[in-house]
């Protein structure tokens, strides 16, 4: 187990290092440096100002020095400084990140609940027609443009029903409704994994054994079908974080919530590359840490996983 832990943590560090390198290479392919790009739109900026700021951010040095310098900063927990405000990335988002976290975690929780509900109903329902509709839900959910869904929800709840204020007012409803919008696309991949388990259930030999014992459908679902999909489900929840972050940014914009989204979008519009770069690292770090946590949890949920240490990837049901 210790060896497993160490190997996974080591892999996570390597992944972070490579992502850093990929982003660094992307910046190097720019026709000029980020400072020039940022100040290009500013009529008052002269070459002297550009040079001074470049020197401050280290963009005047040769690429390998920049590479080492920025990597060193990252290792000290410095994600970079904004060109527009001069604040560090963490300072910049510190005041608003709580709102984003609340939205994202509520959204994730709701998406898991939606996914479980879909798979349970699909397993228990007898009518083939109803089941076909339920089974199709995830692929519909993953095709919905979140920004549009947000607008439609806003239209219905704010303009038609008038139960939701157009701007967040701190009420539970103003958190739950955006979170639900966010949860719809995020639930799709989770539900898909659970549904795969359910769809296979009629063919899977161990489900047959459970049914042959005389177990009630509810028991068969929770103790056998759901329980054996749990490892794969946890793994897929880890990979939905990217979708969750994207969805949060868009949902925040649509519902005019302050948060990571507003900071990020302003930075993109201003072409504040160092700030955007810092936010990319920060979110990557979150994804990698989440994946690490998932990797540590799955062996507890699925005893088959530890056997395949080193051969990346969790073996799916009975496969």
Partner 1 sequence: MPDTTTSAAPALQLDGVSLDYRLGRQRVRALDDVSFSIGQGEIVALVGESGSGKTTIAGAVTGLLPRTATIASGRILVDGTDVTRLTESRWSRIRGRKVGLIPQDPGASLTPVLTIGDQVAEIFAIRGERLGRAERRAKAIELLEVAEVSRAADRLTQYPHELSGGLKQRILIAIAFGLNPALLVADEPTSALDVTVQKQILRVFDRLAREHGSSVLFVTHDLALATDHASRALVLQRGRLVDDAQVSEIVDDARVGYTRELIAHARATQSALPPADAADETDAGAGTAPGTGTAPPALEVRGLTRSFAGRRGADATLAVDDVSFAVPAGRTVALVGESGSGKSTTARMILRLVDPTSGEVRVGGRDVTAVQGRDRLTLWRTVQLVYQNPDSALDPRWTVGRIVAEPLAAMGLYPAGERRARVQELLDAVALPEGTIDKRPGELSGGQRQRVAIARSLAPNSSVVVLDEALSALDVITQERVLQLIERLQRQFGVSYLFISHDLSTVRRLAHHVVVLRAGRVVEQGSAREIFTAPRTDYVRELLDAIPGHRLLAGTGSPTRTAPNAQTAPTAPTAPNAQTAPTAQTVPTEGASPR
Partner 2 sequence: MRVPRGVGELPLPGPATALSALLVLVLVAWLAVPGLFTGYDPLVGDSAEVFLAPSVAHPFGTDHLGRDVLARVIHGTTQTALTAGLAVLVGLALGTAIGLASSTLGPWADAISMRVIDALIALPAFMVALFVVAAYGAGPVSLGVGVGIGSIVLFARVTRAEVLRVRALDYVEASKLAGAGYFRQLFGHILPGASGALIALAVVDFGAAVLAVSALGYLGFGTPPPTPEWGLIIAEGRNYLANAWWMTSLPGTFVLLVVVALGVLGRYLGKATRA
From candidates 44, 77, 126, 170, binder to partner 1 by CB under 8 A: 126
Whether the CB-CB separation of 114 and 183 falls below 8 Å is answered with: yes
Please, what is the minimum distance in Å from the beta carbon of residue 151 to partner 2? Answer: 5
Contact partner, 215, from partner 2, partner 1, none, Cβ < 5-8 Å per class = partner 1
Please, what is the minimum distance in Å from the beta carbon of residue 235 to partner 1? Answer: 14
Query: Who's near 4: CB < 8 A, 6+ residues apart?
Result: 299, 306, 309
In sign, the C-alpha dihedral spanning 301, 302, 303, 309 is: negative
Contact partner, 208, from partner 1, partner 2, none, Cβ < 5-8 Å per class = partner 1
**Residue 45 interacts with partner 2 (CB under 8 A)?**
no
**Residue 196 interacts with partner 2 (CB under 8 A)?**
no
**Residue 249 interacts with partner 2 (CB under 8 A)?**
yes
DSSP calls for the chain: -HHHHHHHHHHHHHHHHHHHHHHHHHHHTSSS-HHHHHHHT-TT--HHHHHHHHHHHTTTS-HHHHHHHHHHHHHTT---B-TTT--BHHHHHHTTHHHHHHHHHHHHHHHHHHHHHHHHHHHH---HHHHHHHHHHHHHHTTS-HHHHHHHHHIIIIIIS--S-SS--S-HHHHHHHHHHHHHHHHHHHHHHHHHHHHHHTT-HHHHHHHHTT--HHHIIIIIIIHHHHHHHHHHHHHTHHHHHHHHHHHHHHTT--SHHHHHHHHHHTT-HHHHHHHHHHHHHHHHHHHHHHHHHHHHH-TTGGGGTTS-SPPPTT-
Identify which of residues 174 and 298 has a Cβ nearer to partner 1 in the complex.
298
Stretch that binds partner 2, among 67-75, 111-119, 198-206, 241-249 (CB under 8 A): 241-249
Please, what is the minimum distance in Å from the beta carbon of residue 115 to partner 1? Answer: 18
**Residue 190 interacts with partner 2 (CB under 8 A)?**
no
Identify which of residues 200 and 215 has a Cβ nearer to partner 2 in the complex.
200
Site track 21-60 with partner 1 (rule: CB under 8 A), x = hit: ----------------------------------------
Q: Distance of CA 287 to CAs 64, 91, 181, Å? A: 27, 21, 21
Residues near partner 2 (CB under 8 A), total: 55
**Residue 312 interacts with partner 1 (CB under 8 A)?**
no
Please, what is the minimum distance in Å from the beta carbon of residue 252 to partner 2? Answer: 11
DSSP calls for 277-301: HHHHHHHHHHHHHHHHHHHHHHHHH
Restricted to residues 149-188, the positions that interact with partner 2 (CB under 8 A) are 149, 151-152, 154-155, 158-159
3-state secondary structure 241-257: HHHHHHHHHHHHHHCCC
Please, what is the minimum distance in Å from the beta carbon of residue 213 to partner 2? Answer: 26
Please, what is the minimum distance in Å from the beta carbon of residue 270 to partner 2? Answer: 8
**Residue 8 interacts with partner 1 (CB under 8 A)?**
no
**Residue 19 interacts with partner 2 (CB under 8 A)?**
yes
From candidates 216, 269, 312, 313, binder to partner 1 by CB under 8 A: 216
Site track 175-214 with partner 1 (rule: CB under 8 A), x = hit: ---------------------------xxxxx-xxxxxxx
Residues near partner 2 (CB under 8 A): 11, 14-16, 18-19, 22-23, 26-27, 30, 34, 37, 139-140, 142-149, 151-152, 154-155, 158-159, 239, 241-242, 245-246, 249-250, 253, 264-265, 267-269, 271-273, 276-277, 279-280, 283-284, 287-288, 291, 312
């Amino acid at each position: 187990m210790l060896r497993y832990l160490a190997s996974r943590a080591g892999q996570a560090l390597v992944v972070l290092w490579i992502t850093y390198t990929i982003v660094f290479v992307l910046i190097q392919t720019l026709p000029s440096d980020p400072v020039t790009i940022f100040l290009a739109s500013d009529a008052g900026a002269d070459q002297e100002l550009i040079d001074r700021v470049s020197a401050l951010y280290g963009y005047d040095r040769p690429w390998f020095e920049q590479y080492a310098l920025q990597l060193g900063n990252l290792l000290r927990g410095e994600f970079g400084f904004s060109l527009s405000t001069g604040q560090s990335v963490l300072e910049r988002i510190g005041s608003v990140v709580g709102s984003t976290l609340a939205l994202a975690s509520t959204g994730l929780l709701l998406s898991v609940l939606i996914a479980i509900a879909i798979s349970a109903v699909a397993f228990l329902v007898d009518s083939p027609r109803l089941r076909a509709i339920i089974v199709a839900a995830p692929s519909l959910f993953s095709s919905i443009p979140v920004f549009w869904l947000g607008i439609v929800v806003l239209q219905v709840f704010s303009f038609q029903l008038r139960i939701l204020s157009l701007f967040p007012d701190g009420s539970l409803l103003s958190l739950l409704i955006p979170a639900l919008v966010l949860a719809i696309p995020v639930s799709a991949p989770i539900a898909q994994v659970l549904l795969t388990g359910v769809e296979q259930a009629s063919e899977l030999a161990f489900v047959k054994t459970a049914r042959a014992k005389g177990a009630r459908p509810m028991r068969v679902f929770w103790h056998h079908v759901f329980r054996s999909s749990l490892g794969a489900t946890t793994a897929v929840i880890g990979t939905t974080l990217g979708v969750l972050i994207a969805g949060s940014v868009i949902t925040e914009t649509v519902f005019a919530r302050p948060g990571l989204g507003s900071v990020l979008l302003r930075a993109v519009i201003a072409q504040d590359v160092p700030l955007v770069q810092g936010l990319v690292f920060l979110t990557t770090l979150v994804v990698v840490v989440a994946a690490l946590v998932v990797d540590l949890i799955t062996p507890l949920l699925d005893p088959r996983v530890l056997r395949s240490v080193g051969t990346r990837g969790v073996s799916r049901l009975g496969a």
